[in-house]
Structure 1
Amino acid sequence: MASLRVEAEQEPLLGHSIRGSREWDIIETEEHYKSRWRSIRILYLTMFLSSVGFSIVIMSIWPYLQKIDQTADASFLGWVIASFSLGQMVASPIFGLWSNYRPRKEPLTVSIFISVAANCLYAYVQVPASHNKYYMLVARGLVGFGAGNVAVIRSYIAGATSLQERTSSMANTSACQALGFILGPVFQTCFALIGEKGVTWDTIKLQINMYTAPVLLGAFLGILNIILILTILREHHVDDSGRQCKNINFEEASTDEVQVPQGNIDQVAVVATNVLFFVILFIFALFETIVTPLTMDMYAWTREQAVLYDGIILAALGVEAVIIFMGIKLLSKKVGERAILLGGLIVVWVGFFILLPWGHQFPKIQWEDLHNNSIPNTTFGEIIITLWKIPREDHNEGPTGCPVEQAWCLYTPMIHLAQFLTSAVLIGIGYPSCNVMSYTLYSKILGPKPQGVYMGWLTASGSAARILGPIFISQVYAAWGPRWAFSLVCGMVLLTITLLGVVSRRLIAFSAFSVLWLVLPKGARNQIKGLILAKNGTIKALRRIISAANLNTSNV
């Protein structure tokens, strides 16, 4: 068992264990192995599509919201985006509990069907005569509810992989999720060429334009995903060595399965990693949310320009993320996961620091109901009182620039395009690095224990981040502008770096020896270090650790 753990810790990140050894041939047949990995890869795809469902319209929600409902403001935008994660947070424990007692095909199929129906609702939110913004809110919330299957996916993969495979499988799952968040806007960018008007199917009152085409594509991909799950996915459950066990969905697990006591997991490390994961997703969620309003305010882009250009920017970040994932596979072998996580957080901090507005050039002001460039005879207090009450014009182009009802537009310097692009590149480097490393560390900390409950916690923390991130940035940005918003983000990242420094020693792969090492007195640890440095001292050191815990040393 100890040897298996050592091999698991040395396994390359994002790689797969190599079959062909005599041990593998004994514990698993070729047919079972292929079926198991087909099922796992189907769930990789499901995770990716779930993330795409969140990000595929992230660039167009704001202009679409303005188009369908003139009463919608930037504050409501935060609630629309956050509704996805609120739905996911509510649904995750429901689908997780369901999957404990029934075949996982059931919650997966139902959840994806809900997402398909919600995407179709989103395509029709412009049809009602009033309250359109609330229909959009409900549609995005239901898409998020369908995405609650993430907990089912993670628990399945944890139970369907051996200890050797688990780290790479969990890292691949994280990579698919991160790529979905980043590459979703690529689809949006492609459909931006259709334009706002698009084409209308009068028979079913469906308008296909740059806002509705992405969700219709999402609905189509969801139907294909359901077909793949029903035809290919099979229930598999293996123990730490890869031996097939009885499925826990129908009867008790095999008594041969290795059971790890709850107390052996470092709970401090678990909580700390959840906090780190929360902050990482919080930061990227708020960045995705604010990109479109920020560029429309700073560079006077029209709605169509914002959807196209911001989509191109995030598409480029997606390509950048793929390169980062490939580089991490090599870099993690040399410097370790904790160092990469720290480096990623530092890069993210630098990115947001660069985004702070400086200088004496101000953005173009969007004067409402005025035909000259004179400053209206009102005080800042009066402008704040009338915040969001001035309706926006309703035509294809619409007014451009920084709205005068946002008082900070009159005194906050603009963020130059080169400044914004540099920041986006740095955040595009730091986010995927932190995302994969936090998930990989979490998987290693949990070790061979079934990880369903813990993965549910991680899903909840990520969902909470995607709820609070958009709400936070939309409220702060609308009231005080980018200087305050990004300064607060920089402070948050600094606190996260401090937390990582404090708990870094505990973020290590689970093993009996590592757990015992944490509880040993400092003097005992120093003696063991001396033995390890001495010739042939490693075995003696391991025996000393086991002896300190009154364990049997006959197998060491």
Structure 2
Amino acid sequence: MTISHHSSFLEHRLHSSLHASFFENNVRSDVMDVEASPFFATSPQLDASPQIFGQKKYEVTIDKELTPQKKPHHIIVSFVIIYTMIFFNGCCFTAVVPSVPFYLQVLHAPKEFLGWVVSFYSLGQIIGSPTGGWLSEKMSSQRILTISSSVGIVSSILYAVAPGYYCILFSRFFTGISAGMEFTTELTFIAHHTNMKERTAFLATVTAVNISGFIMGPALGAALALIDIEIMGYSINEYTGPGWLLVIMFMVDLFMVQCLFREHPPAKNENKNATDTSSEQAQLLADEKQTASSYGGVSNGQTEKDSKKEVINGQSPSETHEKKSNVDIDDNAVSEEPTEPPPSLPLVLSLIFIQFSLMIGFSLLETIASPLVHDRFNWNVNDCNLLFTCGGVVSLVVYAIFVMLSKRVADRSLVFTAISLCFVGFLLAIDWEGLNWVPHWMLALLPPYLGRFLTGFGLMYGGFMIGRSITFALYSKLIASQYQGKYLGWMVAGGSAARTLGPFAAVFLYYEVQSAGGKSIAVFGPAVVLHLMCLLLMICFWADLLPGNLGLTPVAIKKRSTTKKRVEQLIRLRKESSLPV
């Protein structure tokens, strides 16, 4: 009796110990397994350990690629250089834009030529971006950045010493090529040297640094507007100063790339884990189909007679079920080679149209803002630089607010808010007092046009800066991984087309209309209509703007949901059946 009691006590302690050990090692990892499933993010690796009481005990090990790793010192230095170059890239753009219309007037260029100059910069980016991506597969990032910085130095010198306005055109074109090559290479470097967990934070930092450059560019241009000197026969003033500033920045870039920049073998491709996720989940489903419903290695769907027959034939019941599980898997399980249906064309075109509208609205603003405030308020180059600086500050504040909101608010709501800000901003920028058909009682309710324009400028600037990045993020999340390259290429092409065509439309509409009120409504009126259409499109497709549901049929959405629930159910069953009954 004592021996029996003692044996039962030991058996109870043994079961308790195994139970505690199992949950200590697996319960937390089970939660991570669900969050890392293909319906959330990437998947951890599942390894089957030796059987315990006829059942498999699963242990989850997290791939090091999915956790932030401490980087070598030289890689940290290289990242600092990359961020510095991105900051200079933003400065190079906004330092020149406010003074370009005045510079072209000094060089006796026709008014319509402004549209060509602004568009050729975007055209250079269209050529430079894919070129940089293509070269990144054939040579090191250091060599590509050296080439882009050298092209930037030459084009900036041409801008500063331009004898005629056609030199300004070619200078901006080659500066755009340099900027496109550089930015693509920088993003490629970040992608190669970060894992999936780190990448979102690093890319968010890119946006913050770029916006900071947008702020400092006009501020530096305003400081240069106070200088009017001549060195070795070359003038440095409010028109040529931004060109010499670009020369200095590109020379600093070239020095950092040659002396301090170091590369590292690209990080292991974490997409391998994402690719293997389906087979891991399929194996989990197959194994759980056996173990979760069996006791001591005999399943509920198998009689003891069948089990004994398999043992006589030299096969254990578990081995037989493992063989069967490779063939007989539930229809709702994830296939080894999952194929997602392509997204619906109407929704894809709607999102591309939203990005197109945001980009064309900003191109209208950056092209016409300086001429408009000069004609309407008699502002000079320094005033225009301060205007763009304040716009950059507003966009940085809005960016910080949206970053905090992104933790609580869905991306589709943030995009809708950004478009709404641009819509209201363009409405405020219209000079309603200059329109004869507006009733006098309505004009009496409006505040002065200067205050309205400045408020609208800040809303448009901030709304565009946030809307562009969040639209890209939402678009990327809504598309299956195998379609990312093609459909993101369409999105980039739509934005580039807007940046190329927008300046032409802005210059033509602005200078073809004579009245002050007519000029503003001719430029900003179409932008109001475009952004209103974007809001209506988002309302129409609101239910589809959720990650994973882009254009899927109801059957596909149901299958996705069923598979997700099946994986969660199997993990729960694995906990419940961890010990024999």
1:203-218 map, 5 Å: 205-218=233-246
Q: Which amino acid is 1:114 matched to?
A: V
Q: CA deviation at 1:286?
A: 1.4
One of 363, 369, 372 as aligned partner of 1:294: 372
Among residues 344, 347, 356, which one is paired with 2:430 in the alignment? Answer: 356
Partner residue of 2:231 out of 182, 201, 205 = 201
- For the residue of structure 2 that corresponds to 1:486, the secondary structure is helix
Match of 1:155 in 2: 188
- Cα deviations across residues 235-256 of structure 1 (Å, max 9, x unaligned)? 4433464999xxxxxxxxxxxx
Q: Which residue of the partner structure matches residue 374 of structure 1?
A: none
User: Which deviates the most, 33-42 or 134-143?
Assistant: 33-42
Structure 1 residues 543 and 520: CA distance shift in structure 2, 3 A: farther
**Equivalent residue, structure 2, for 1:444:** 477
Alpha-carbon distance between aligned partners in 2 of 1:140 and 1:353, rounded to the nearest angstrom:
31
- Select the residue among 124, 132, 139 that pairs with 2:171: 139
> What SS does structure 1 have at the residue aligned with 2:226?
helix
Q: Quote how far apart the aligned CAs of 1:30 are.
A: 5.5
d(CA) in 1 for partners of 2:474 and 2:80?
21
- 1:318 corresponds to: 392
- The question of whether the paired residues in 1 share the 8 Å contact of 2:364 and 2:523 is answered with no
Aligned to 1:462: 495
Partner amino acid, structure 1, of 2:534:
T
Q: Within the alignment, does 1:486 sit opposite 2:532 as a pair?
A: no
Residue by residue over 1:340-368, the C-alpha shift from the partner in whole angstroms, topping out at 9 and shown as x without a partner, is 11011011111111122222699xxxxxx
Counterpart in 2 of 1:124? 161
- Which SS does the other structure have where 1:335 is aligned? coil
Q: Residue 519 and residue 169 in structure 1: after superposition, are their counterparts in 2 closer, same or farther (change >3 A)?
A: farther
Deviation for aligned residue 1:504 = 4.1
Distance 1:145 1:157, change over 3 A: same
1:212: Cα distance to partner? 1.6
Paired residue type of 1:218: L
- Alpha-carbon contact 2:136-2:188 (below 8 Å) kept: no
Are 2:462 and 1:429 aligned? yes
Question: Partners in 2 of 1:43 and 1:505 — Cα distance?
Answer: 39
**TM-fit CA distance, 1:37:** 5.1
Aligned residue identity for 2:410? G
**Structure 1 residues 444 and 451: CA distance shift in structure 2, 3 A:** same
Is 2:416 the counterpart of 1:339?
Answer: no
1:464 deviates by 2.4
SS at match of 2:266: coil
Cα deviation for residue 86 of structure 1 reads: 0.8
Shift of 1:493: 0.9
**Distance in 2 (alpha carbons) for counterparts of 1:270 and 1:496:** 13
Q: Which residue in 2 is equivalent to 1:234?
A: 263
How far has the Cα of 1:26 moved from its partner? 8.2
Gaps of 5+ in 2: 1-32, 43-60, 274-335, 437-445, 514-518, 571-581
Between structure 1 and structure 2, the one with the greater Rg is 2
How far apart in 2 are the matches of 1:467 and 1:322?
25
Shift of 1:328: 1.4
Q: TM-score, normalising length from structure 1?
A: 0.70
1:539 aligns with 2:565: yes
- Among 148, 152, 155, the alignment partner of 1:111 is 148
- Taking the aligned partners of 2:485 and 2:263, their CA distance within structure 1 comes to 18
Unaligned stretches of 5+ in structure 1?
A: 10-21, 245-258, 363-412, 532-536, 545-556
- Which residue of structure 2 lines up, in the alignment, with residue 87 of structure 1? 124
Give, in angstroms, the shift of residue 506 of structure 1: 4.2
Which shows bigger deviation, 60-69 or 446-455? 446-455
**Paired residue for 1:283?**
361
For residues 193 and 29 of structure 1, what CA distance do their matches in structure 2 show?
Answer: 47
After superposition, the Cα gap between the structure-2 partners of 1:275 and 1:176, relative to the gap in structure 1 and judged at 3 Å, is farther
Deviations 1:439-479 (A, max 9, x none): 32244346767977766555443332221121111111111
TM-score, normalising length: structure 2: 0.67
The amino acid that maps onto 1:492 is L
> What is the distance in 1 between the residues matched to 2:370 and 2:447?
15
Q: Which residue number corresponds to residue 404 of structure 1?
A: none
Could you tell me which residue of structure 1 aligns to residue 298 of structure 2?
A: none
**Superposition deviation, residue 315 in structure 1:** 0.9
Which secondary structure state, in structure 2, belongs to the residue aligned with residue 154 of structure 1? helix
Show the counterpart of 1:46.
85
What count of residue pairs does the alignment treat as equivalent? 441
**Higher relative contact order, structure no. (Cα contacts within 8 Å, ≥ 6 residues apart):** 1
The amino acid of 1:47's aligned partner reads I
Cα RMSD for the two superposed structures: 3.7
Query: Distance in 2 between the 1:238 and 1:357 partners?
Result: 54
CA offset at residue 420 of structure 1?
1.1
Deviations 1:118-144 (A, max 9, x none): 01110001xx3xxx1111111111111
Three-state SS of the structure 2 residue aligned to 1:237 is coil
1:5-84 correspondence runs (5 A): 23=62, 32=71, 35-36=74-75, 38-69=77-108, 72-84=109-121
User: Is the CA contact 1:82–1:467 (under 8 Å) kept in the aligned structure 2?
Assistant: yes
Range that drifts further, 417-426 or 36-45: 36-45
Change (3 A) 1:47 1:277: farther
Q: Does 1:501 align with 2:536?
A: no
Question: Which residue number corresponds to residue 20 of structure 2?
Answer: none
Aligned amino acid, residue 287 of structure 1: L
For residue 200 of structure 1, give the secondary structure of its aligned residue in structure 2.
Answer: strand
- C-alpha displacement at 1:503, in angstroms? 4.0
8 Å CA contact retained: 1:186, 1:315: yes
